């Protein structure tokens, strides 16, 4: 059974990928908090509805095949970069203040964004685990 054929799991995987990328981008903003002239970046809001342009631009990913040289080694090969790689649309998202050197990163605002992203990530993981538990319960033998 391939979970990628179930729309709920595909949606949750895309949302988790988006949130992971957003956390990476926020961490990059914090790392550049003292870089003169730096403008923080953020991702456009996540949306999976067709026709909405504000969501992530998901690049198609080539299928991944498992190739083994021997039974103790597993490598993943993909024709278009790392497995599960997606690209999301980002935009400049200056914070509420600008320092004299032109830096627009406010650590407190970035930490609030990180907290929100982490909370959303934990929620998506919870949905994923509940959906897996529901599938597991559905395939068990009655009374077993």
DSSP designation for 59:
P
Dihedral angle of Cα 29, 30, 35, 38, to the nearest 10 degrees: 30
**pLDDT in the model for residue 89:** 73
> Does residue 45 fall inside a structural domain?
yes
Cα separation, 56 vs 18, in Å, equals 8
Establish if 144 belongs to a structural domain: no
| Token duo for residue 114 | 């990180």
Write down the pLDDT at residue 75.
43
Q: Does 20 fall in a domain?
A: yes
Q: How confident is the model at residue 44 (pLDDT cuts 50, 70, 90)?
A: confident
pLDDT score of 1 more than 70: no
Within a domain: 35? yes
Query: Percentages helix, strand, coil for the chain, rounded to the nearest 5?
Result: 40, 10, 50
The per-residue pLDDT for 73 is 46
Least confident range from 22-31, 32-41, 134-143: namely 134-143
DSSP reduced 3-state for 41: strand
Cα–Cα distance for residue pair 97/25, rounded to 1 Å: 19
Over the stretch 78-136, which tens digit does the pLDDT of each residue have? 333 344 456 677 777 777 888 888 898 999 999 999 999 999 999 999 999 999 999 88
Number of structural domains found in the chain = 1
Q: Is residue 64 part of a domain?
A: yes
pLDDT at 86: 62
Q: What is the pLDDT of residue 142?
A: 81
pLDDT beyond 60 at 5: yes
For the cut 50, the answer to whether the pLDDT of residue 19 exceeds it is yes
Asked if the structure places residue 135 within a domain, the reply is yes
| Domain enclosing residue 122, as ranges | 3-139
45-86: pLDDT as tens digits: 887 654 434 444 444 444 445 455 555 444 434 333 344 456
Burial pattern 80-107, b for ≥16 Cβ within 10 A else e, equals eeeeeebebeeeebbbeeeeeeebbbbe
């Amino acid at each position: 059974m391939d979970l990628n054929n179930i729309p709920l799991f595909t949606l949750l995987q895309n949302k988790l990928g988006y949130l992971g990328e957003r956390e990476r981008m926020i961490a990059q903003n914090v790392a550049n908090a003292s870089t003169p002239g730096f403008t923080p970046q953020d991702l456009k809001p996540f949306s999976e509805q067709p026709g909405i342009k504000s969501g992530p631009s998901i690049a198609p990913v080539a299928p991944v095949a498992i190739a083994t040289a021997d039974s103790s080694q597993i490598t993943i090969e993909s024709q278009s970069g790392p497995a599960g790689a997606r690209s999301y649309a980002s935009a400049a998202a200056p914070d509420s203040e600008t320092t004299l050197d032109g830096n627009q990163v406010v650590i407190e605002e970035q930490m609030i964004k990180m907290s929100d992203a982490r909370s959303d990530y934990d929620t998506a993981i919870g949905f994923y685990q509940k959906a897996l538990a529901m599938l597991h319960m559905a395939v068990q033998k009655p009374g077993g």
